[in-house]
Chains A and B, each alone.
Chain A
Amino acid sequence: MTELTHLTIAEARDGLKAKTFSATELTQAHVDAIAKARALNAYVLETPEKALAMAKASDEKIARGEGRALEGIPLGIKDLFCTEGVVSTAGSKILGNFTPPYESTVTRNLWNDGAVMLGKLNMDEFAMGSSNETSAFGPVVSPWRREGSNVSAGASGAIEGTHLVPGGSSGGSAAAVAAHLCLGATATDTGGSIRQPAAFTGTVGIKPTYGRVSRWGTVAFASSLDQAGPITRTVRDSAIMLASMASPDPKDTTCVDLPVPDFEAAISRGVKGLKIGIPKEYRIDGMSPEIEQLWHQGAEWLRAAGAEIVEVSLPHTKYALPAYYIVAPAEASSNLARYDGVRYGLRENGRDIVDLYEKSRAAGFGREVKRRIMIGTYVLSAGYYDAYYVRAQKLRTLIKRDFEEVYAQGVHAILTPATPSSAFGIGEKGSGDPVEMYLNDIFTVTVNMAGLPGIAVPAGLDAQGLPLGLQLIGRAFDEETLFAAGQVIEDSAGRIKLPQAWWA
């Protein structure tokens, strides 16, 4: 029998239903794997007792024939989701031991469907980063190693050698899924934070349409861009998980009142008769030939499955990233104003209230977060608002219009690379110039700016043996086409062989 931790969600669901193994056995296998993988730093908080109690309840449900959609499925939760009675940090010191007295809608939906919580996953502080290096709890180590690399787990359990980043901001989620430390994980995506780490770790990640998933109870970064979605090992598993995470929600006015489609049914639709666009503006200078080749290969796979491939133009693509670095910090500066050292979290006393605010925020926020709050404050300040913020919002209108025009020509989905490169080493990027790190999101950020759904699917390995992903961008509220086309890519590429547990 396959190791329990190596099952897909779909396989585990079938095994639990057939009583081949129990939810308790499945959860225990994950609890053990997590305990042996602490060197990866994927989990910031393990909740084994809670997990086993939830698994026991699932076994009782299954015994009574009352199993729900995710009954007994062990999941990891990005530490951006507030979980009732369980410390939630957003990867920041400023939240201290914040213990929410409420449950986020996303996690509530998962528990209502019978899922089991293994723990909270590491992430870039407030989801600001592309490598998981800005976390107050230290970086996550990718389970992937370059071919011939000397990275290993030393005698003390610490990692030796230059290891790779799992991407970010959902780095813990992607690493945990790739390292078999959960069957699936929740993640969030503001500029690429689901799709880039999925691509770096050979996993599948989907950012749904803005409004598909409730943001209630998820720590806010940039409210007009943030969306939650799953990271899993297969396209089918992403479809299963997203169906549970999504729901209308009266507590989030930006969450749409649309029924959640049967995403899993969509994966077998195929792409026959679909028109897939290849945007010429994504062919950027200096793109690696491997990525170019993979992109071409992806188009050929879709063509072979019956899709029509057409070249399309999204002329404002290059302005998406600079516009994002105005809009997202502006919203962040406003959202993060709530961390004041008074109502929750870390407090540094001062001579007066302003001094208390300034000292608490200086001590609690990391460098990247401070930088973004300050950029946001600047672009919203008197005299600069029109020149920066209003102009960026106008660009956003143009970026969205580009997509609308392509879709109006009958294009059903757009195929692009997910990232401009494979995973890089810890400390290799952005230490001098923050913009170097920001360029990681060049292919993903347009999708957030336009509010569209996007999925990253592993499509091959580069010369160093590291995974590369392709991205499919869909029409608003048409995640189903992304699952259908994503499945074609997964079937054509073959499932990526994930790394052996060298860290255990």
Chain B
Amino acid sequence: MSVDEKTVRRIAHLARIAVTDEEVPHLQGELNAILSFVEQLNEVNVEGVEPMTSVTPMVMKKRQDGVTDGGYPEKIVQNAPATEDNFFLVPKVVE
């Protein structure tokens, strides 16, 4: 399978990465090189094989559903580019 320019733009949008017109053909070439490399997986008969979900067999750890951390909103927002009263600021989302 290979991707065309339209698909490259669609993937970029899904990935929320702006691409310029000049970048599209380069990305298309690179993505197609990778897709053609992974094509060889189709040689393998995977019928009846379970897809891996956990590489180390272990029982999932559980803990009491209790509050163990928090209460410091100023620390949470301290690295944000724009904040007000410990809220993150973004452009208007709902009209």
Q: Which residues of A contact B (CB under 8 A)?
A: 96-99, 101, 209-211, 224, 250, 253-254, 256-257, 316, 318-319, 322-323, 325-326, 333, 337, 340-347, 349-359, 361-362, 365, 370-371, 373-378, 381, 384, 387-388, 390-398, 400, 433-435, 438, 449-451, 476
**A224's contact among B17, B55, B77, by CB below 8 Å, is which?**
B55
Interface of B is mostly: loop
Q: Contacts of A354 on B, CB cut-off 8 Å?
A: 16
Q: A256-B58, A322-B40 are in contact. Are A378 and B3 (CB under 8 A)?
A: yes
Give A224 to B49 CA distance when docked, in angstroms. 19
Cα of A374 to Cα of B8 in the assembled complex, Å: 8
Across the interface, do A211 and B58 meet the contact criterion of CB distance under 8 Å?
Answer: yes
| Main DSSP-derived SS at the A contact region | helix
Q: Could you list 9 examples of A-B contacts with CB < 8 Å? A: A209-B56, A361-B18, A378-B3, A378-B7, A393-B52, A396-B51, A397-B52, A400-B52, A451-B55
The reply on B30 being an interface residue by CB < 8 A is yes
CB neighbors of A among B37-65 (8 A): 37-42, 44, 46, 49-56, 58, 60-61, 63
| Complex CA distance for A496 and B88, rounded to whole angstroms | 53
Q: A343-B88, A395-B44 are in contact. Are A374 and B12 (CB under 8 A)?
A: yes
Interface residues of B (CB under 8 A from A): 1, 3, 7-8, 11-19, 27, 30-31, 33-35, 37-42, 44, 46, 49-56, 58, 60-61, 63, 72, 75, 77-82, 88, 90-93
Question: How far is B70's CA from A101's CA once the two chains are assembled, in angstroms?
Answer: 12
Contact (A341, B15) CB under 8 Å given A253-B61, A353-B91, A371-B31: no
Indicate if the CB atoms of A381 and B11 lie closer than 8 Å: yes
Closest chain-A Cβ to B43's Cβ sits at a distance in Å of 8
Task: Please give the distance in Å from B51's CB to the nearest CB on chain A.
Answer: 4
Contacts of B92 in A (CB 8 A): 352
Q: Indicate if the CB atoms of A347 and B81 lie closer than 8 Å.
A: yes
Residues of B close to A352: CB separation below 8 A: 91-93
A398 and B34 within 8 A (CB):
no
Cβ A365 vs Cβ B38 within 8 A: no
8 cross-chain pairs, A with B, having the tightest CB-CB distances, nearest first? A451-B55, A393-B51, A344-B79, A347-B81, A362-B18, A358-B18, A394-B46, A396-B52
Q: How far is the CA of A388 from the CA of B78 in the complex (A)?
A: 39
A381/B14 in contact, CB under 8 A: yes
Contact A374 B31 (CB under 8 A): yes
Chain A residues, CB < 8 A from B54: 224
**Contact present for A434 and B33 (CB under 8 Å):** yes
Residues in B whose Cβ lies below 8 Å from that of A396: 51-52, 55
Q: Given A250, A325, A346, A381, which contacts B61 in the complex, CB threshold below 8 Å?
A: A250
Across-interface contacts of B61 in A (CB, < 8 A): 250, 253, 257
Q: Which residue of A lies closest to B47 (CB)?
A: A394
Q: How far is the CA of A355 from the CA of B90 in the complex (A)?
A: 11
Quote the shortest CB–CB distance from A339 to chain B (angstroms). Answer: 10
Q: Contacts A211-B56, A316-B44, A397-B49 hold; do A371 and B79 have CB atoms under 8 A apart?
A: no
A352-B91, A378-B3, A435-B33 as given contacts; A357 in contact with B16, CB under 8 Å: yes
Say whether A358 contacts B16, CB under 8 Å: yes
Q: Using Cβ atoms and an 8 Å threshold, which residues of chain A touch B34?
A: 325, 371, 375, 434-435
B16 adjacent to A350 (CB under 8 Å) = no
Check B80 against A343 for contact (C-beta < 8 Å): yes
A167-B70 Cα distance, complex, nearest whole Å: 40
What residues of B have a CB within 8 angstroms of the CB of A375 in the complex? 31, 34-35
On whether A322 and B15 interact (CB within 8 A), knowing A345-B81, A400-B55, A476-B56, the answer reads no
Report yes or no: B44 in contact with A319, Cβ–Cβ below 8 A.
yes
On whether the beta carbons of B78 and A101 are closer than 8 Å, the reply is: yes
Closest Cβ of chain A to B86, distance in Å, is 12
Contact (Cβ within 8 A) A371 B30 = yes
CB pair A99–B31 under 8 Å, yes or no, is no
Q: Are B80 and A342 in contact (CB under 8 A)?
A: yes
8 more A-B residue pairs beyond the given contacts A316-B44, A373-B15, with a C-beta to C-beta distance below 8 A:
A352-B92, A355-B18, A358-B13, A375-B35, A378-B3, A378-B31, A391-B46, A397-B50
Contact of A377 among B14, B18, B39, B51 (CB under 8 A): B14
